[in-house]
């Protein structure tokens, strides 16, 4: 296309189309075209703009990346100050807020509020003039912020040009720039791989990314934006309700959170809070609470402001998931597989609704990457039900005498050598089952609810049993007697009897549970289930070598190697045999091994009467080795009934259902075939 007029027309059409698709994708979360089509349009636009550089405008969708690095950010005064919100930390405080609002307004009825998630990112002001994005400024101290326009341009969910009609000549949009969880994890993972510093949380990552002097770096960061209000707006009046303002912003192409709700009264607010608290971990972004805003703008104006916050809104915070405290010591725990986990001993701190004095440091790689030292002030995270962790160090508070953390050379439990494979994150004790820690962990795991489910055999009791020398391997559990147990500290006759009964009950189990209970490295519940279903019997599984194991669907080389190694180990075979001798059993299955490979696979047999040449058991075994299934009763799914002499009622049942009936001769012929 060489004609400038045509090019100009096409450029406009392309920009409109791209802006429209951006809007569908980001603001409405409802794209109309696949990504490839969007990319094609963008490429065509880029090519045309290259050909006609005079036609490039700052609001073109091509202008999102690549501005040259700045030396520093300019400072910009906010024409309307950017305020913050008062916080409420309890239901009582929310009710008090609502009461104050009603009293000031002399209102007896319920107030209408807009309830919104409180995004955990950073506040930003976006200025649009005649619908074109002009400026992006951080909140700063509320009156003056930093000019981050170049960086804001790189955020795809911020439109460079407003859509539709009716927007004011000057429109200042306010909202939150944040980093979605997924993008945050990926960013940190990449940083970790390159041995670079990671961000402690998505909020820090968002702030760090937006305040980059080099916009090309910001462009690579997964930042997103939600609008939650307006600042300075020129004459054209906006609607008289906050909810309607948000609806307008959405129509003009800005992204509005779809979790926003209109609610009534304090109870409506609290209901929203509970809903969001329950949803919180499932959201793709981090929120630290919810915000309630009086919806009617005239009422907002009547209420006005105190100091730095409006009287018409409040932030109802979730219990903080992060807190600062001092790292007093680092100790190493030895797990079931011998892995040494560094554990932080902390000055107790209230975080995420509980007092935390221990937190995981995961592994030595993490300790080194985060450069955690004893004496440091650290950020502790406790989100939902996950184990509290040390998220990062507050370097500014590092004392002079902070001590580096060293991996011990010897296992703190058994004194065996500790090895850390070259480049590996995990250090392990080489003591194996000689190491009491590993033994204890295995015993506890063996007895746990999802394994053999021995009620009452918890951590403390396992410690006692191992210490007293009553239990060295899991097989010893089954030799425990009431007098032995009753002799232990804090153990009465009654609990001893209960425990022996629970052990008795656990003797009858299922193969997947038993496999899981063995604590084979890499074998969790799902893999145990897969292996049990595939092989049917423990013997078959134990006989399988790595190659055979790898043929099992969902079993890769790592799992196959771990399983084969486990069963090769004579000690493990001994323990298994002792456990079985102690009466642990489960119903044997036929397995789905080599599906389609056996000539009888997919065929279902029922046996009845007496065969002259072999026992019924032997016949069943023959069928199973050829891939067939044997079941105890006739149903529509039965393919063959093998009838010996003096058949039982199964014969009549089979005749009634039209099942093929084989006498001994025919059966032998079939096996021959």
Binding site for ligand IVH (CB under 6 A): 83-85, 116, 118-119, 123, 139, 176, 228-229, 291, 310, 313, 315
The residue among 118 and 280 lying less far from ligand IVH, judged by its C-beta, is 118
Residue 549 DSSP one-character state = H
Quote the CA–CA distance of 6 and 10 in Å, as a whole number.
Answer: 6
> What SS3 class is residue 126?
strand
The residue among 83 and 540 lying less far from ligand IVH, judged by its C-beta, is 83
Q: How far is CA 428 from CA 192, 344, 519, in A?
A: 22, 18, 16
Quote the CA–CA distance of 339 and 27 in Å, as a whole number.
Answer: 47
Smallest gap from residue 311 Cβ to ligand IVH (A): 10
Smallest gap from residue 291 Cβ to ligand IVH (A): 4
φ/ψ (deg, to 5) at 514: -65, -45
Q: Work out the angle at residue 115's Cα, subtended by the Cα atoms of residues 111 and 118, and round it to the nearest 5 degrees.
A: 140
The residue among 283 and 540 lying less far from ligand IVH, judged by its C-beta, is 283
467 carries an active-site annotation: no
567 is written with which tokens? 């069963």
Q: Which long-range contacts (CB under 8 A, 24 or more apart) does 343-351 make?
A: 344/372, 344/378, 344/380, 344/390, 346/378, 346/380, 349/323, 349/324, 349/325, 349/380, 350/323, 351/319, 351/320, 351/321, 351/322, 351/323, 351/380, 351/381, 351/382, 351/388
The residue among 249 and 291 lying less far from ligand IVH, judged by its C-beta, is 291
Q: How far is CA 303 from CA 106, 107, 327, in A?
A: 11, 12, 46
Task: Name the residue among 423, 417, 330 with its Cα closest to residue 371.
Answer: 330
Smallest gap from residue 100 Cβ to ligand IVH (A): 16
Asked if 336 and 441 touch (Cβ cutoff 8 Å), the reply is: yes
Smallest gap from residue 12 Cβ to ligand IVH (A): 35
Smallest gap from residue 121 Cβ to ligand IVH (A): 7
Q: How far is CA 104 from CA 84, 86, 99, in A?
A: 21, 17, 9
- Active-site annotation holder among 118, 293, 317, 370: 118
Smallest gap from residue 229 Cβ to ligand IVH (A): 6
Smallest gap from residue 176 Cβ to ligand IVH (A): 5
Smallest gap from residue 45 Cβ to ligand IVH (A): 34
Strands, E assignment, 164-242: 170-178, 224-233
Three-class DSSP labels, 318-346: CCCCEEEEEEEEEEEEECCCCEEEEEEEE
The residue among 310 and 415 lying less far from ligand IVH, judged by its C-beta, is 310
Of all residues in the shown chain, the one whose CB is closest to ligand IVH is: 123
> What SS3 class is residue 226?
strand
Strands, E assignment, 140-217: 144-146, 170-178
The residue among 278 and 306 lying less far from ligand IVH, judged by its C-beta, is 306
Contacts of 77 (CB under 8 A, 6+ apart): 143, 144
The residue among 70 and 83 lying less far from ligand IVH, judged by its C-beta, is 83
The residue among 256 and 520 lying less far from ligand IVH, judged by its C-beta, is 256
Asked if 102 and 245 touch (Cβ cutoff 8 Å), the reply is: no
Which residues are the active-site residues? 118
């Amino acid at each position: 296309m060489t004609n400038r007029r045509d090019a100009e027309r096409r450029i406009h059409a392309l920009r409109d189309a791209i802006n429209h698709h951006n809007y569908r994708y980001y603001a409405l979360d409802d794209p109309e075209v696949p990504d490839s089509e969007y990319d094609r349009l963008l490429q065509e636009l880029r090519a045309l703009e290259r050909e006609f550089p005079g036609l490039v405008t700052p609001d073109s969708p091509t202008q999102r990346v690549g501005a040259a690095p700045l030396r520093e950010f300019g400072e910009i005064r906010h024409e309307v100050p950017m305020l913050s919100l008062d916080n409420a930390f309890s239901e009582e405080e929310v009710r008090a807020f609502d009461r104050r609002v009603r009293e000031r307004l002399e209102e007896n009825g319920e107030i209408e509020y807009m309830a919104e998630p409180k995004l955990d990112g950073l506040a930003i002001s976006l200025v649009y003039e005649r619908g074109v994005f002009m400026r992006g400024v951080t909140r700063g101290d509320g009156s003056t912020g930093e000019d981050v326009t170049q960086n804001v341009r790189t955020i795809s969910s911020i439109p460079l040009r407003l859509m539709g009609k009716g927007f004011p000549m000057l429109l200042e949009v306010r909202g939150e720039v944040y980093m979605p969880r997924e993008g945050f994890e990926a960013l940190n993972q990449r940083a970790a791989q390159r041995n670079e510093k990671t961000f402690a949380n998505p909020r820090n990552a968002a702030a760090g990314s937006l305040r980059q002097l080099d916009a090309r770096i910001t462009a690579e960061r997964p930042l997103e934006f939600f609008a939650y209000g307006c600042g300075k707006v020129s004459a054209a009046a906006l609607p008289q309700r906050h909810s309607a303002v948000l609806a307008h912003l959405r129509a003009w192409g800005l992204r509005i959170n779809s979790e926003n709700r209109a609610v009534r009264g304090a109870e409506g607010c609290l209901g929203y809070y509970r809903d969001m608290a329950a949803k919180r971990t499932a959201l793709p972004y981090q929120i630290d609470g919810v915000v309630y805003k009086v919806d009617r703008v005239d009422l907002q104006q009547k209420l006005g402001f105190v100091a730095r916050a409006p009287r018409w809104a409040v932030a109802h915070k979730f219990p903080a998931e992060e807190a600062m405290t001092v790292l007093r010591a680092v100790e190493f725990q030895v797990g079931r597989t011998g892995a040494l986990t560094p554990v932080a001993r902390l000055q107790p701190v209230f975080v995420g609704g509980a007092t935390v004095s221990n937190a995981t440091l995961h592994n030595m790689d993490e300790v080194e990457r985060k450069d955690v030292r004893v004496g440091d002030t650290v950020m502790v995270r406790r989100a939902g039900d996950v184990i509290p962790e040390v998220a990062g160090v507050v370097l500014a508070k590092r004392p002079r005498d902070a001590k580096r953390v060293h991996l011990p050379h010897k296992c703190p439990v058994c004194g065996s050598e500790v090895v850390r494979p070259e480049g590996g994150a995990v250090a392990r004790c080489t003591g194996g089952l000689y190491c009491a820690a590993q033994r204890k962990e295995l015993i506890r795991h063996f007895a746990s609810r999802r394994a053999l489910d021995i009620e009452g055999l918890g951590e403390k009791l396992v410690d006692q049993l191992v210490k007293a020398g009553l239990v060295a391997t899991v097989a010893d559990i089954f030799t425990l007697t009431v007098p032995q147990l009753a002799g232990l500290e804090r153990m009465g006759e009654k609990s001893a009897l209960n425990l022996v009964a629970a052990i008795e009950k656990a003797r009858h189990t299922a193969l997947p549970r038993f496999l899981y209970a063995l604590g084979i490295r890499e074998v969790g519940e799902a893999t145990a289930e897969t292996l049990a279903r595939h092989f049917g019997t423990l013997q078959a599984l134990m006989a399988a070598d790595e190659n055979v194991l790898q043929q099992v669907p969902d079993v890769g080389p790592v799992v196959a190697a771990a399983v084969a190694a486990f069963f090769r180990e004579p000690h493990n075979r001994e323990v298994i045999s002792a456990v079985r001798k102690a009466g642990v059993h489960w119903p044997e299955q036929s397995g789905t091994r080599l599906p389609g490979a056996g000539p009888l696979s997919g065929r279902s047999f029922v046996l009845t009467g007496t065969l002259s040449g072999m026992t019924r058991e032997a016949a069943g075994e023959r069928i199973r080795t050829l891939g067939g299934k044997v079941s105890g009763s006739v149903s529509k799914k039965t393919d063959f009934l093998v009838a010996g002499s003096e058949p039982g009622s199964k014969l009549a049942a089979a005749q009634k259902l039209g099942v093929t009936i084989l006498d001994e001769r025919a059966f032998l012929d079939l096996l021959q075939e």
